[in-house]
């Protein structure tokens, strides 16, 4: 490839959407072209920012939808004359506020990219909430099925599941996980192909980093 790569193609590369043939040509060009390397760095930053902001928007949307549902439930339950109905409604709200908030709103979506070097997980998710993990399969050889293990920081297996590839992604669900560090390992035919990191954090870093742009 003698010509520079256009931004559209660099964006596709950044998002892991190129075929093996396209990858070869582009990566060989990148090895030699400083200008395209710089543009890719910018595009990487842009796509990551758009992805994290989109996740935050969706997260906020889910929370809002859940809040309006809760309010509707509260209104319904306070209309009956029986006093205990109000008490039940109050209890429901209390449970919601103390941590069950996302359970009824469905699992939280978390996008995982490969763990790099000594870095620990960049992906953060809230504790005690079912998760839908999206694994980035860029550069991973095609296979009809993949085996995915979720292990804790001591290497103890927490979840094992099998899933099929969807484009350059693989989706798996996890049950509620307590606070801690986790590693998600991707296997095919017994070979370890990639490892992803995930941090379950109670401090609210997930909420802050995703939802509050003023921080």
Mark the segment that binds another protein (CB under 8 A) among 43-51, 72-80, 81-89, 99-107.
43-51
Query: Pick from 81, 82, 98, 214: which binds another protein (CB under 8 A)?
Result: 214
Q: Smaller CB distance to another protein: residue 40 or 147?
A: 40
Q: Identify the three-state secondary structure at position 104.
A: coil
Interface with another protein in residues 142-201 (CB under 8 A)? 153-155, 167-169, 181, 183, 185, 192, 194-195, 199
Cβ neighbours of 138 (radius 10 Å): 17
Say which residue the tokens 């796509």 belong to. Answer: 47
Nearest to 151 by CA among 195, 104, 184: 184
Return the residue of 22, 30, 86, 176 that touches another protein, per CB under 8 A. 30
Please say whether the beta carbons of 183 and 197 come within 8 A.
yes
Helix 34-78 and helix 83-95: axis angle, to 10°? 160
- Please select the residue that binds another protein; options are 18, 33, 133, 147, rule is CB under 8 A: 33
Q: Which among 206, 155, 213 is positioned nearest to 182, based on CA atoms?
A: 155
Determine which residue in the list 65, 97, 120, 164 makes contact with another protein, applying CB under 8 A: 120
- Contacting range for another protein; rule: CB under 8 A; set: 33-41, 65-73, 82-90, 94-102: 33-41
d(CA 20, CA 26): 10
CA distances from 165 to 135, 176, 186 (A): 10, 24, 12
CA distance 15 to 136: 9
- Judged by CB under 8 A, the stretch of 38-46, 62-70, 78-86, 93-101 that binds another protein is 38-46
Quick count: other Cβ atoms within 10 Å of Cβ 43? Answer: 20
Using rule CB under 8 A, residue 121 touches another protein: yes
Number of residues that bind another protein (CB under 8 A): 70
Task: Output the smallest distance, CB 124 to another protein, in A.
Answer: 9
- The residue among 77 and 184 lying less far from another protein, judged by its C-beta, is 184
Which among 102, 62, 116 is positioned nearest to 204, based on CA atoms? 102
Interface residues with another protein (CB under 8 A) are 1-8, 15, 17, 24, 27-37, 39-58, 111, 114-122, 139, 153-155, 167-169, 181, 183, 185, 192, 194-195, 199, 209, 213-215
């Amino acid at each position: 490839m003698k010509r520079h790569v256009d931004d559209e193609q660099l964006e596709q590369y950044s998002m892991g959407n190129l075929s093996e043939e396209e990858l070869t040509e582009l990566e060989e060009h990148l090895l030699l072209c400083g200008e395209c390397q710089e543009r890719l760095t910018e595009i990487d930053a842009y796509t990551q920012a758009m992805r994290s902001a989109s996740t935050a928007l969706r997260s906020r949307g889910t929370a809002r939808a859940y809040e309006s549902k809760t309010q509707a439930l509260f209104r319904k339950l306070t209309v009956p004359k029986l006093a205990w109905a109000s008490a039940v409604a109050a209890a429901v709200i209390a449970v919601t506020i103390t941590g069950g908030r996302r359970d009824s709103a469905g699992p939280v979506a978390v996008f995982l990219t490969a763990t790099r070097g000594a870095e620990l997980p960049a992906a953060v998710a809230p504790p005690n909430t079912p998760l839908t993990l999206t694994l980035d399969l860029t550069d991973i050889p095609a296979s009809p099925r993949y085996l995915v293990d979720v292990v804790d920081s001591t290497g103890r297996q927490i979840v094992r599941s099998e899933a099929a590839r969807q484009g350059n992604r693989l989706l798996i669900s996890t049950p509620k996980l307590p606070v801690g560090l986790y590693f998600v390992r991707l296997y095919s035919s017994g070979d370890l192909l990639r490892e992803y990191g995930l941090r379950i954090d109670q401090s609210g870093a997930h909420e802050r980093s995703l939802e509050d742009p003023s921080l």
